[in-house]
Structure 1
Amino acid sequence: MNREPDLGALRQQLADARLSGEHWWRGLEALADSAQAQAWVAAEFPGLAPTLDRRRFLQLMAASLALAGLAACGQTPDESVPRVVQAESQVPGKTLVYATAVPFAGVAQPVLGVTTAGRPIKLEGNPDHPASGGTCDAFTQAAILQLYDPDRSQSPRYKGRETAWGQVQGALLACAGQLDRTAGDGLHVVLGANGSPTLQRQLQQLMQRWPKARLYLAEPFAATAVQDACRQVFGQPLQPRWQRANAEAVVSFDDDWLGAGPWQTVNQRGWAARRRAAGQGQGRAQVLVADSVPTLTSAAASERLRLAPSRRPMLLRALAAELGAGEPGLAALSDTEQAWVRHAGNALKARAPRCLVSLDSQAPVDQQALVLRLNEHLCNQGVTVDYIAPQYQGAALHDLLEPLAANQVQVLVMLDCNPVNTAPAHWHLSDAVQHVPLRIHAGLYHDESARDCHWHLPLSHALDGWADARAADGSSVIVQPLMAPLYPTRTLAQVVELLQGRDADAHAIVRQTWAALDDNAWQQALSRGWADPAPVAVSVTANSAPLLTESAPVNGLEVRVLPDPCVWDGRLANLGWLQELPKPISKLTWGNVIGVSPALAERLGLANGDRVRVPLPGQIIEGPAWVEPGQADSVVALYAGYGRQRAGRVGNGLGYPAQALGAVNQVATLERLDGSLALASTQLHHQLPPGHESPIRSVAPGQSLGAPELLFHDATAVGPQWGMVIDLDLCTGCNACVVACQAENNIAVVGPEQVAQGRAMHWLRIDHYYQGSLDAPRSHFQPLPCMHCEQAPCEVGCPVNATQHGQDGVNQMVYNRCIGTRTCASYCPYKVRRFNWLDYSADAAPTIQAQRNPQVTVRSRGVMEKCTYCVQRISAARIDSKIAGTDAIEVTTACQQSCPCQAISFGDIRRADSEVARARQSGRHYRLLEELDTRPRTTYLARIDEERQP
């Protein structure tokens, strides 16, 4: 492979005055203008289509297309009889929408499930729920693919062999009788994080019946340290509920609250609401970040400090002193650290109580306690933070090791979790559980934990089973099925009933929890999606306690284990959409890397892809290095979620198993090994032609770029004229729009080999640009769908008129005309067209593919495709407007609908009252590659450069 360019020379190059200021770069190779980067720019289609291994192809397609066995999709059994008269609610070709929720890591995401012909095809945010507001993150969008995953467990198993539920019921009934005689002594239940009120009621009943039983929480990145800190500071375990829309100043320590996770949607909505309401930089939230690894939060920060985790306690103590809540402590800090602490302290004091201090949820309890006290000192309780009862509880999983070693565990039950895979490797949990006489696992997959159990019970998916849960604001949401179960599975609530020797209907179990609701109230709860509002905050007062103690200096490299932004801790590893989703910062796909700073890479002579080793207690990690600009010099970043062997045919064998290290920071060394590994990164893909004006533009607060938008379109055109505006000041690069577009438009998964050759099929990509120095650059994100140009070069280049201009301004694709010359892609300066090198549906069953949107054509080999402005939604809205007898056509594209920050506006640009028309009149409005005079309908609002505010 080509060696990495000289990092020292690049650092000097960026420091040179000639390249300062508005110098943007897409990666180290692009910055150095290496042969590899030149090849990506020069070659429109790198390489010819290689022969794809048939086995790997079938593995990917089986999961992406959900081939066989899906004829079971349909209505509930009591409705599955032929009807002479069609039900009034079911109109052929029309979708039905149901309110439900998708739990993730203990927090439910309120959604609307879109179904057609009895099968769900899309998830949208519930606009009536305050925690969603109609938006939806990438993880939640991908839940629809998980529903149809053919690798989901489909039947109970005993010692690896399929069995019947009757056998399960008999065995558990006998087990319950034995536990009755011992009051549950020897029963140890391990659960994933789950805020279900029904489950909490069932567990209380279980503990009343078997008081000697023990419950444990198996959630690798749960905020249990925060709950413990609340117990220390407030005298009771609590869960903070952040009100980020009220925060005018936020100081964060290694807390990626804008990044992936169960609270991403509500956090991004609050941040964007504050940013949008403040207008042109006046009164906007000032975000100061001190962290070790670049994140979405640090990319949005007005000021960022690179900081190793070992120095975080000193900075916290110094900030406390700056706020008058501790002894002076700036002496031990560097000049840069002292300046950052002063700026952070001034920002907090100037905006108290409309301010906030936040910390990585995996940080030690004493640091969490100090942050809680700082927030109390700033008097922001009830303004930017309040506290509610924890949504889930349980002893730490580590506490299970002692009874296992003492052979005190007689029955081990693992419910909706995979601790054998996620527990630290030096615990040797897989070996420890082998001595337990009865081991039971319940989950969506026959995973690593199921392999080590006698009984495996398949769980229903959230979209085909009854349940309830709690949203990010603490409100109770009803999880109602969108279809009859695909397989003979049971819900988690049913499994808990079976453990107690009872077999019950899933709906009846949930309904019992909400028995106080009469039938009308219950139907209203199902219709709107939640049963009760968010709980009232608990009023608390912080006690007095000593601040942080002195920490010993760290000699060596500090290892941080982080959840992967696309597959989290590995529970989503078998979803092709998320595996192929470029990670927001690195743009890597299909695997994890070992992140190092440019300074460390320069010292060790590392290039992207070089094999390295990280020796740690109990485990040795080996993987490819990735040089990440902006990472702290003494930090090595490992990403969980990979290295799995029983994830499924898509997720098996990818990457290294960092989740087996736990989430605790450790000290280690880094060794370079021989050889390198190929990485599927999209960072250099589809680069815009060089020599043009910067693709990213910014303005100072209150200023503008120039004259407002002129009308390029034909003023005599009849009907609406569609256009889109993307606000770069609100875009965080979170990828929610990318997955929403993929789900809506039947976009194929192509696999790592094809991605490495630049053949990813995403219609919407998010380019990541760096600005500034190699060691501490700023990050900027720019979503790029089709520009739908008024003078589109692609329309001129197509020899068969397969791409043409519609009367409404949409650049249309006629798939059955396309003969695959790829001329249109060569003519497109924005590089937004995608070519089907292979026929990704060739091996599909002749039956209707369950997850596919029937309103969108599935493309075949040799056909070009691109963003269509969700033309199927435009057509449906046009028909509805004709029926309603109105000229106004309201359309929301899939990307616009999902964006938590509402950074995308779409509509009729000729309507002066439309949001998109108002955006085009903004002083921040500009067109990409404007000098080419393509007159794109997709345009941008410049990012506002925030000046440091004292």
Structure 2
Amino acid sequence: MENINDLKPQPKYWMSLDQWTQDPEFLKLAENEFLSSPLASEDGKDGWARREFLKLMGASLALTTFGCVGRPAQKIIPYAKKPDEVVHGIPDYYSSSFFDGSEAFGIVVQTRDGRPIKIEGNANHPSTQGGMSARAHAHILKLYDPDRLHGPLRNLQNEKKTNNESVNMTWEKMDEELVAHFQKGKVALLTSSIPSPSIQAVMDGFKKQTGAKSYVYDEIGYDDVREGQKLSYGQSGIPEYRIDKAKYILAVNNDFLGTWMTPVAFQKQFAQGRKPNQDMSKLVVVESLMSLTGVNADERFQIRPSQTLDFLMGLAHQLNSVMKVGGASSNSAITSALGKYSTAEKDLGLPEGTIAQIAKEISKHRGESLVLAGGMSSRSKDSVAIQVAVNLINSILGNEGSVIGPARDLRTTQGSFEDVSKLIRSMEAGEVKTLVIYGLNPSYSLPQASKFQEALRKVETVVYVGDRKDETGFQADYIPTVSHALESWGDMESSPGVWSIQQPTIRPLYDTRSFGDSLLTWSKALGAKGGSFDSDNFHDFVKSSWKSNVFSKAGSGKSFENFWIDALKGGVVDLSSGSSRGQRSFRSQAFGELSSRKTSAAGMELALYPTVGLASGELANVSWLQEFPDPVTKICWDNYFCFSIADAKALKISEGQMVSVKMGDRTQEGPAHIQPGQAPGVIGLAVGYGRTRGGKVCDGVGINAFDLAQVDGEHLITSGLPVEVKALAKKHSLACTQGHHSMEGRQIVVEETLAQFTKNPGGQVHRHKMFSMWEPHEYKGYKWGMTIDLNSCTGCGSCIIACQSENNIPTVGKKYVLQGREMHWVRVD
């Protein structure tokens, strides 16, 4: 018999704070299992009611009834098979590519009867390897968005650009008027990062004809990483991070599994190190807000955004000055500069021995460890210094050249706030007569502190290449309406040498045109000719570009036509030669950036962050993503101010209570969410919400967090923002899915150590014997089944949207989610 003294209490798991505190109302609902409130009224005060439910169903109905306009005029090639003609009811598959503003995907598009119905990952793509994000899966619904413009539009603007009158135009008339404006000179281009070499080539031709200056800004950018690389190693760019080669990963206010840079590629790499064996990697997270990376951590610690640099420098001091790890320990200048951080652990309020233990563990994996920091939630005034500190630690540990490759000039991360600041100054000075905007929505995503909208009013002609009359489109003079990616030809170079094709799977549903076709048309009208500019359309331009830049290097021994067909079938051509992995030397002059802290730690701090579902908000009008439960909070149809349990108690704030948050001269009101695991003294707020002209689904949902960002010289500050908080006497219902369908004490999750698993795999799984009155029926042959490796699964929720897309599951709206009537077939708690 087991000694009762040897029995250890099992951890108590809970699914919501109400369950943890054993709230009486929760216990009453748990007994009923299902919510039983009647259908909501039609007053519309609490979200979507029945009529709105039908509106949300509209896009799903479109997938089954809309889009029968035939395939593109040019020849497209199926991914797996090449039918002579479409067979009704039989799906075909076409390879293509997709860029979501940060990460590039190789995709396979399933079509039926000439219309795309599902997007999957392309396993041939070397980076994402068939992986897909929730946004990539949901991108297909944007194709059928009824709020898209149906053709080119001319806004009849007044001087303040606040007029709402618009007239439709023909493409011929719009091109004629725009070319006349371009010929006047003083043209500027503002775009997001453009991963397409062909679009970049035609843009270069356009700039040559007009003398235009080009500015690049990404709404979620990584210019601090590039600047830190230049200071530390003399080369600007984004390093190649090999998560799969790291045995010990330390993420400091960095959500690399959720929203930072290329999370799908990182998830693929991370999974390789999470096999339950002795070589299994360890993930330690130090962060302010609870992130997807944080919930996957083996160990997790809390700090405030303003303390990020202190923690990193304290760790560098422990490694360099105390443990004498690496060659920098003999550098008196470095040792002296790190000395003032000897008490960092105590100053940060971390448990005694935390930094020493992390340093001890990570030093055992020199050359096989990785320290990461950065992202919107750590983009304080110290953001560049934070990157320099990370580079120093990785250099001390010898990770350069093994786990970290050299900086690369990636097409996907070219934007900088410095660039858009230069443009704003030029606009204010009257140096820009015509501004062309593509790939971003600056009137929404740039804060008032940037003074972009005031400067925009001084521009004579604003051309917005978009698909709707959104916040920026409303202020534009012309909208050359752009086609969806699934309606357009293009290409992509996601990393040096990795080229992929973007081929359309349907003709444009409306009278729209791709950005490449518009640039080509304008460039030729302005006199561009020769080479690819002799092409009749952008399809021919892309094909000509590939013949010159890809086919000539592929060395396949085939004719170009055969090479082109194979490229369309496979979707990707990998010309990368493998990055050189020579170890770089950290430049001691970079310490100038570390000489002084710029972020104050006094009072409450606000940290903005992107969500896995909406990111910057480009796809906010896709109802699938609005109803997608956030992987951390499980709340949908809202953003909210996140508070720690301690702060909520001190401020007497309850779940859903409205609060007022003041940042400088800006004030926003929104509901409060109490988030377990969040650092005290920190408030989190997601960007991507608060749209005013995005469409019927997203308008009025949440608040615009971008407007609370601040400007510090050439840098945009989104974290460590000092704020004042005031509780309001109002409540706002937050739709959280995790409290639905109680388990009533049954096993929620299976958890055990590696040693326990090795000794007895599956020993922690307890199953009840099921009794039946009948003899079981024997089913022969193949059976459908699905197995999830919970050690590799990060809980990103991509499978939820993939299932919704594949099975055409409708969204129900916030009102019915509050009643427990969400219809997702897959749930991740």
Unaligned 5+ runs, structure 1: 1-17, 81-85, 180-185, 768-950
Q: What is aligned with 1:267?
A: 266
Residues 1:127 and 1:709: Cα distance change in structure 2 (over 3 Å) = farther
The aligned runs of 1:324-403 (5 Å cut-off) are 324=320, 325=328, 326-327=334-335, 328=339, 329-334=341-346, 336=350, 339-362=353-376, 363=379, 364-386=383-405, 387-391=407-411, 392-394=413-415, 395-403=418-426
The reply on whether 1:163 has 2:195 as its aligned counterpart is no
Q: CA deviation at 1:68?
A: 10
Tell whether the 8 Å contact from 1:445 to 1:458 is kept in structure 2 after alignment.
Answer: yes
The reply on whether 1:297 has 2:293 as its aligned counterpart is yes
Task: Pick one of 535, 547, 572 that aligns with 1:530.
Answer: 572
Residues 1:261 and 1:762: Cα distance change in structure 2 (over 3 Å) = farther
* 2:472 alignment partner, SS class: helix
Letter in 1 for 2:265: V
Q: What is aligned with 1:458?
A: 481
Q: What is aligned with 2:728?
A: 673
The aligned runs of 1:599-614 (5 Å cut-off) are 599-614=646-661
Letter in 1 for 2:545: T
Tell whether the 8 Å contact from 2:469 to 2:693 is kept in structure 1 after alignment.
Answer: yes
Q: What is aligned with 1:706?
A: 763
Q: CA deviation at 1:668?
A: 0.8
* 1:242 alignment partner, SS class: coil
Q: CA deviation at 1:241?
A: 1.7
Residues 1:261 and 1:370: Cα distance change in structure 2 (over 3 Å) = closer
Equivalents in 2 of 1:55, 1:294: separation in Å? 36
Q: What is aligned with 1:197?
A: 197
* 1:396 alignment partner, SS class: helix
Q: What is aligned with 1:845?
A: none
Residues 1:376 and 1:451: Cα distance change in structure 2 (over 3 Å) = same
- Post-superposition CA distance 1:263-306 (Å, at most 9, x none): 11100000001112xx33x1211111110001111111111110
Equivalents in 2 of 1:232, 1:420: separation in Å? 32
Task: Pick one of 670, 681, 705 that aligns with 1:623.
Answer: 670
Equivalents in 1 of 2:518, 2:218: separation in Å? 20
- Post-superposition CA distance 1:399-432 (Å, at most 9, x none): 2221222222211111121000000122342232
Equivalents in 1 of 2:440, 2:537: separation in Å? 23
Q: What is aligned with 2:93?
A: 97
The aligned runs of 1:103-142 (5 Å cut-off) are 103-142=99-138
* 1:268 alignment partner, SS class: helix
Equivalents in 2 of 1:262, 1:170: separation in Å? 40
Equivalents in 1 of 2:799, 2:606: separation in Å? 32
Q: What is aligned with 1:250?
A: 249
Q: What is aligned with 1:664?
A: 718
Equivalents in 2 of 1:397, 1:226: separation in Å? 17
Letter in 2 for 1:698: E
Q: CA deviation at 1:21?
A: 4.5
- Greater CA deviation, 133-142 or 363-372? 363-372
The reply on whether 1:521 has 2:583 as its aligned counterpart is no
Tell whether the 8 Å contact from 2:253 to 2:373 is kept in structure 1 after alignment.
Answer: yes
For normalisation by structure 2, the TM-score amounts to: 0.84
Letter in 2 for 1:672: A
Tell whether the 8 Å contact from 2:410 to 2:494 is kept in structure 1 after alignment.
Answer: no
* 2:98 alignment partner, SS class: strand
The aligned runs of 1:36-55 (5 Å cut-off) are 36-43=25-32, 44-52=34-42, 53=49, 55=51
The aligned runs of 1:721-760 (5 Å cut-off) are 721-760=783-822
Q: CA deviation at 1:36?
A: 3.1
Tell whether the 8 Å contact from 2:182 to 2:210 is kept in structure 1 after alignment.
Answer: no
Tell whether the 8 Å contact from 1:195 to 1:469 is kept in structure 2 after alignment.
Answer: yes
Tell whether the 8 Å contact from 1:573 to 1:647 is kept in structure 2 after alignment.
Answer: yes
Equivalents in 1 of 2:23, 2:69: separation in Å? 52
Letter in 2 for 1:611: M
Tell whether the 8 Å contact from 1:107 to 1:195 is kept in structure 2 after alignment.
Answer: no
Tell whether the 8 Å contact from 2:345 to 2:352 is kept in structure 1 after alignment.
Answer: yes
Equivalents in 1 of 2:428, 2:810: separation in Å? 48
Equivalents in 2 of 1:63, 1:321: separation in Å? 56
Residues 1:103 and 1:694: Cα distance change in structure 2 (over 3 Å) = closer
Task: Pick one of 409, 417, 420 that aligns with 2:443.
Answer: 420
Tell whether the 8 Å contact from 1:522 to 1:531 is kept in structure 2 after alignment.
Answer: no
Q: CA deviation at 1:158?
A: 0.6
Tell whether the 8 Å contact from 1:256 to 1:297 is kept in structure 2 after alignment.
Answer: yes
Tell whether the 8 Å contact from 2:621 to 2:695 is kept in structure 1 after alignment.
Answer: yes
Tell whether the 8 Å contact from 1:579 to 1:590 is kept in structure 2 after alignment.
Answer: yes
* 1:66 alignment partner, SS class: helix
Residues 1:109 and 1:472: Cα distance change in structure 2 (over 3 Å) = farther
Q: What is aligned with 1:551?
A: 597
Residues 1:424 and 1:76: Cα distance change in structure 2 (over 3 Å) = same
Tell whether the 8 Å contact from 1:64 to 1:576 is kept in structure 2 after alignment.
Answer: no
- Greater CA deviation, 222-231 or 140-149? 222-231
Tell whether the 8 Å contact from 1:173 to 1:498 is kept in structure 2 after alignment.
Answer: no
- Greater CA deviation, 521-530 or 572-581? 521-530
- Post-superposition CA distance 1:569-588 (Å, at most 9, x none): 11111011110010011110
Q: What is aligned with 1:319?
A: 315
Equivalents in 2 of 1:76, 1:199: separation in Å? 20
Q: CA deviation at 1:107?
A: 3.0
Q: CA deviation at 1:19?
A: 11
* 1:484 alignment partner, SS class: coil
Equivalents in 2 of 1:707, 1:575: separation in Å? 40
Q: CA deviation at 1:321?
A: 1.8
Q: What is aligned with 1:510?
A: 542
Equivalents in 2 of 1:50, 1:454: separation in Å? 42
- Post-superposition CA distance 1:55-91 (Å, at most 9, x none): 52343223343389935432235899xxxxx963533
Matched length: 735
The aligned runs of 1:142-221 (5 Å cut-off) are 142-159=138-155, 160-179=166-185, 186-211=186-211, 213-221=212-220
Residues 1:621 and 1:75: Cα distance change in structure 2 (over 3 Å) = same
Q: What is aligned with 2:700?
A: 653
Equivalents in 1 of 2:699, 2:93: separation in Å? 34
Unaligned 5+ runs, structure 2: 1-6, 43-48, 77-81, 156-165, 321-327, 329-333, 526-534, 552-559, 710-716
Q: What is aligned with 2:221?
A: 222
Equivalents in 1 of 2:809, 2:743: separation in Å? 23
- Post-superposition CA distance 1:508-554 (Å, at most 9, x none): 12113212322222222111112343464365543222432232642
- Greater CA deviation, 453-462 or 657-666? 657-666
Equivalents in 2 of 1:173, 1:683: separation in Å? 55
- Greater CA deviation, 225-234 or 470-479? 470-479
Q: CA deviation at 1:686?
A: 1.3
